[in-house]
Homo-oligomer: A and B are copies of this chain.
Amino acid sequence: MGAFRAIVLRDLRVAFRRWSEVANPFVFFAVVVALFPLSLSPSAPELRSIGVGVVWIAALLSSLLALDGLFRNDAEDGSLEQLLLSPVPFGVTVLAKIAAHWLVSVLPLVLLVPLSALSFRLPASGLPTLAFALLLATPSLSVLLALGAALTVSLKRGGAIIGLLILPLAAPLLIFGTRATDFALHGEPVAGPLYLLAAMAAAAVSLGPPAVAAALKVGLE
């Protein structure tokens, strides 16, 4: 467990070299959100109707932005080899790195849900569900993207191709997520989609890391 903590902390350090940088994801998200209304002819109902979608897209985007370096940096500076050779089980290492990625790129959005809701005039009723759905869906998202990243680290052509298919795989997550939130906004029962998200999360977090680890091992050969 000590190793797990060490890896997470290290990745967080690298991401937020200086404390001021912790603010970046938040401001960035604010900017992205600000862009949408700019590009629309403003009128409240529309804004509300897109709000949910925007939040989810922002989530996807910032995970993708943070993702770029997830494994490639470590692979290129040689530290991934060291991690692979270290006595720490590689699955744990991978899980730690994914966790760090999630903390860096997604958690801020969850914390920002109230703001976004406010700026899109979402009724308060929907907020808890939105936040909860994000919390449930994004871990699976991180795992999926990590798998994609691992595959593209591989020098082998095949890996690269599969890597491309990962992003579309994220679609169901987004769909169910927005579903749940929409339901909540219209006061319908949200349990269904949420259960689905939870199930996916469980599956991803348990099955994902070994797959990622395997992909990386191949990639490093």
Q: Which residues does A use to contact B, with CB under 8 Å?
A: 14, 17, 19-21, 23-25, 27-28, 30-32, 34-36, 38-41, 46, 49-50, 52-54, 56-57, 60-62, 64-66, 68-69, 73, 152, 156-157, 159-161, 163-164, 167-168, 170-171, 174-175, 177-178, 182
* Assembly stoichiometry (copies): 2
Which residues in B have their C-beta under 8 angstroms from that of A62? 160
Given contacts A66-B159, A163-B20, A163-B28, contact A46 B41 (CB under 8 A): no
Q: Find out whether the CB atom of B35 lies under 8 angstroms from the CB atom of A174.
A: yes
Contact call B171/A20, Cβ cutoff below 8 A: no
Residues on B with C-beta less than 8 A from A160 are: 19-20, 24-25, 28, 62, 65-66
Q: How far is the CA of A177 from the CA of B168 in the complex (A)?
A: 28
- Residues of B near A163 (CB, < 8 A) are 20, 28, 31-32, 65
Q: Which residues of B contact A28 (CB under 8 A)?
A: 60-61, 64, 160-161, 163-164, 167
Q: In chain B, what residue has the closest Cβ to A155?
A: B17
Asked whether B20 lies within 8 Å of A35 as measured between CB atoms, the reply is no
Distance from A144 Cβ to chain B, minimum over Cβ atoms (Å)? 12
Q: Are A27 and B168 in contact (CB under 8 A)?
A: yes
Q: Are B156 and A32 in contact (CB under 8 A)?
A: no
Contact A40 B31 (CB under 8 A): no
B24, B49, B168: which contacts A164 (Cβ < 8 A)?
B24
Chain B residues whose C-beta falls within 8 Å of the C-beta of A54 in the assembled complex: 36, 39, 50
Measured between beta carbons, the chain B residues less than 8 angstroms from A52 are 39
**A57 neighbours in B (Cβ, 8 Å):** 32, 35-36, 39, 61
20 contacts between A and B (CB under 8 A): A20-B160, A20-B164, A24-B64, A27-B164, A28-B161, A28-B164, A31-B60, A32-B57, A32-B60, A32-B61, A35-B60, A35-B171, A35-B175, A36-B57, A39-B175, A40-B50, A41-B49, A41-B182, A65-B65, A69-B156
